[in-house]
Structure 1
């Protein structure tokens, strides 16, 4: 009998998976590696130290919480050495895809003998809507599981390579990747493009996400901060961020708003949105990282979709 281990993208889906008639142990990957500095050596002491420092500083995550929720679960993964089949459950969005790359990089080093397969939700019907795992019925999830993608050694090596590039100090190397279609990651190309658009735009110094926030404020005119967050979450494209992440972003952009109840931009906020004023010098943070790269050491040129090094 082959033994089975499932690695999921978060707690809410873990509880859902537990309710399905599937064998095997379940480990939850509790991280958000799409935010903050990342090191390529997943699971090392320096890796976790870097992650804790970011989460503690930016999200007030305590050491006890980090040890209890993230490190204990990681140690549990390390202790699951016997399983010869490992199934990853991730989604189409940037949040999930970056975590998936990190997990595959770790598996490449530490579970070379295991058969690794991927269940990844996204395009599930004839519409343009992309679905998260939690949005699917039990029947759909079991069908996805039956049709899971068994990853070849080449796929795993490629995922590790993309992870190394994500953690490098220069995103231009990631921008130059072109061979996604040769590997079994249907949503990785779009996620990487979305990641590159997180560097500040030449036009006004804000990135794609920040510009989208200003646009929604101006066009939708939400009556409250809660309604505003709801609209941001519903219109974020392939980022897959949560309300705590957007709450932090809104704090950094607060000078561009005269009010959040109702939501109103300042005159400068409207000028920045229209590209008449550049906000780069105001928002620049020399300790802000996207993967291994300093966010404000690069600019995104939306005219040709290329990254420039400052």
Structure 2
């Protein structure tokens, strides 16, 4: 392991590109987490070959493409080639389910180090910061993402909020599905744009919303 090596794990390519473009954390080691764990099936052996096969299918890409896009940038993380780990994520559902997956893997692989979690806003400005340990998160991951059940005790509070949104957002009575049905006469492009603006607390993008429109049986207009 490299001495005094801080690894900054960012939620996605957009945040990574922004930090690089603005020279934020200049000289530091930054890598993106290119996943959307709040959508689609998963596997209880996080980042295993079986996990990768399931997630590649969710994203409609080959296993090779998934490896190149998601796993290859995570190599230093998966090899635990760091002495300090720093996470940078938003409070929205999208980001928090990604956080849960990362903490779940660290717990699954018995990582005992301190983790710095930085919470950023819509424009990537720092909003909050806390330290935590990856203890108990693997069981939460399995309960939430595999069994779709709400755990009794979840910290921090914004992770709990993200999980609550995740467990409800694809149900027939969720605010997202009701909104889609209310504006079902709009074009897909316009409806997706409205969803992104109206429901920022979910953090979903156009790809996830298009999948949702197909899932609820809404034909293209």
TM-score range, shorter chain: 0.7 to 0.9
2:68 paired residue number: 68
Deviation at 1:159, TM superposition (A): 2.8
2:115 paired residue number: 116
Deviation at 1:249, TM superposition (A): 2.0
Tell me the number of residue pairs that the alignment of Structure 1 and Structure 2 aligns.
217
- Helix, strand or coil at the partner of 1:37: coil
- Helix, strand or coil at the partner of 1:98: helix
Structure 1: distance between partners of 2:215 and 2:112 = 45
Deviation at 1:89, TM superposition (A): 0.7
Structure 2: distance between partners of 1:199 and 1:250 = 11
- Helix, strand or coil at the partner of 2:59: helix
1:282 paired residue number: none
* Of 196, 210, 213, the match for 1:247: 210
Structure 2: distance between partners of 1:226 and 1:49 = 30
1:148 matches 2:129? yes
1:11 matches 2:10? no
- Helix, strand or coil at the partner of 2:146: coil
1:88 paired residue number: 87
The TM-score with structure 1 as length reference comes to 0.62
Deviation at 1:48, TM superposition (A): 1.1
1:269 paired residue number: none
Structure 1 residues 109 and 190: alpha-carbon distance in aligned structure 2, compared to 1, 3 A threshold: closer
Report 1:201-216 matches (<5 A): 201=172, 207-215=174-182
The TM-score with structure 2 as length reference comes to 0.84
Deviation at 1:111, TM superposition (A): 6.6
1:26 paired residue number: 30
1:191 matches 2:154? no
* Of 30, 46, 55, the match for 2:50: 46
1:179 paired residue number: 153
Ranges in structure 2 where 5+ consecutive residues have no aligned partner:
none
Structure 2: distance between partners of 1:164 and 1:232 = 29
Ranges in structure 1 where 5+ consecutive residues have no aligned partner:
122-130, 261-310
Structure 2: distance between partners of 1:55 and 1:167 = 16
Structure 1 residues 227 and 150: alpha-carbon distance in aligned structure 2, compared to 1, 3 A threshold: same
Check whether the contact 1:233–1:241 (CA below 8 A) recurs between aligned residues: yes
Report 1:285-300 matches (<5 A): none
